[in-house]
Amino acid sequence: MIQFAIRRLLATVPVLFLTSVIVFLLMRLLPSDPIELLVERAFTEVSDELIATLRAKHGLDRPLYTQYFIWLGNLLTGDLGWSYLNNQPVWDIIRPRILPTVQIGLLGLVFAALVAIPVGVFAAINPRSWKDWISTAGALIGAAMPYFLTGGLLIYVVALHLRWLPASGYVPLWTDPVSSLRSSILPALTLSFVLAAVIMRQTRSSFVEVLQHAYIRTARAKGLAMWSVIVAHAFKNAILPVVTVLGIELGSVFSGAIITETIFAIPGIGRLLVDSILARDYSTIQAVVLFITFAVVVANLLVDLAYAWLDPRIRRS
């Protein structure tokens, strides 16, 4: 198992390399660079000599391949670069932003799984019934609602009208756990609507297929109750595709965080990425995208390890 995990981690190196090249080139294709934006925001006359000096200081006057390999060499030594926007090391900017995004993302996944898996199983044991149709309709509505609409409705109803939870902001977990949880619920619920729709549809499809197998019919013929059959016989086989979806949906968590963190004023990775793109903060953008890529790869590694735990055949192979 350890050797398998090491091989999968080594396989992430080409993925991270290609991601870094693509992001690096895409950012350089934009019409302006960070120095031009900084000069525009200075609201004062800046000489061409000073602009050239600033570009030379940050290495922006060098060929693209030279800039890339300098950045890659620094990255391999643990240096993520220097932020043009905040004038400080990129790692110092990213570090405090990780916890809010991870906290909201994991909470959203938990909310989605707690609702979607039972509803998907309930729909699977009642196929083509009104219960199945209602569950399917709910999943389609959840998948169709964009994040900004869901977040806006939650803010209006729960925060402004009912005054149950704060409308925006974030409290660090170590400062006040209760307030931190309260500030995370609405953005987590916003993420969970789309996640729950995908998980519910996959759960229903997987359980419908497994419940048609001969060993399930044999267990039912012995007089076991349906829920006993599901828990004891069907669950481990049917849950494998759902686990795959949970790993894949981590990418949706980060993409949704870009919108939800902007709506709810959460100082997380998603909002940092938006601000950095607007400011052409190359080093920060590259570091954030690599962090998201690595998080998704690690999530898929955990999915593979969960496969081995759930299915002994995979573990023996």
The answer to whether residues 173 and 286 belong to one domain is yes
The answer to whether residues 79 and 164 belong to one domain is no
pLDDT tens string, the chain, 317 residues long: the values are 667 667 777 777 888 888 888 888 887 777 777 777 777 666 667 677 777 887 787 777 788 888 888 888 888 888 888 887 777 888 888 888 888 888 888 888 888 889 888 888 888 888 888 888 888 888 888 777 888 888 888 888 888 888 888 888 888 888 888 888 888 899 998 888 888 888 888 888 888 888 888 888 887 787 777 778 887 777 877 887 888 787 777 767 777 778 888 888 888 888 888 888 887 788 888 888 888 888 887 777 777 777 766 666 655 55
> Cα 90–93–94 angle (5° rounding)?
85
The answer to whether residues 129 and 70 belong to one domain is no
- Residue 253's CATH number: 1.10.3720.10
The answer to whether residues 77 and 155 belong to one domain is no
Two tokens, residue 150: 């869901």
**Cβ-contact 84, 38 below 8 angstroms:** yes
Cα torsion 117, 119, 120, 124 to 10°: value is 140
Pick the last residue of a domain from 91, 113, 147: 91
Domain count, the chain: 2
Pick the last residue of a domain from 36, 60, 91: 91
Q: What is the pLDDT of residue 124?
A: 85
280: left (phi over 0), alpha (psi -120 to 50) or beta: left
The answer to whether residues 222 and 128 belong to one domain is yes
Q: What is the pLDDT of residue 43?
A: 64
Pick the last residue of a domain from 59, 91, 123: 91
Q: What is the pLDDT of residue 126?
A: 81
3-state secondary structure of 250: helix
The answer to whether residues 190 and 226 belong to one domain is yes
The answer to whether residues 174 and 302 belong to one domain is yes
Two tokens, residue 134: 């209602």
Element of type H or E holding 89: strand 88-89
The answer to whether residues 278 and 148 belong to one domain is yes
Q: What is the pLDDT of residue 64?
A: 82
Tell me which residue range forms the domain holding 19. Answer: 2-91
The answer to whether residues 118 and 65 belong to one domain is no
The answer to whether residues 182 and 242 belong to one domain is yes
SS3 breakdown of the chain: % helix, strand, coil, rounded to 5? Answer: 80, 0, 20
The answer to whether residues 159 and 291 belong to one domain is yes
The answer to whether residues 26 and 134 belong to one domain is no
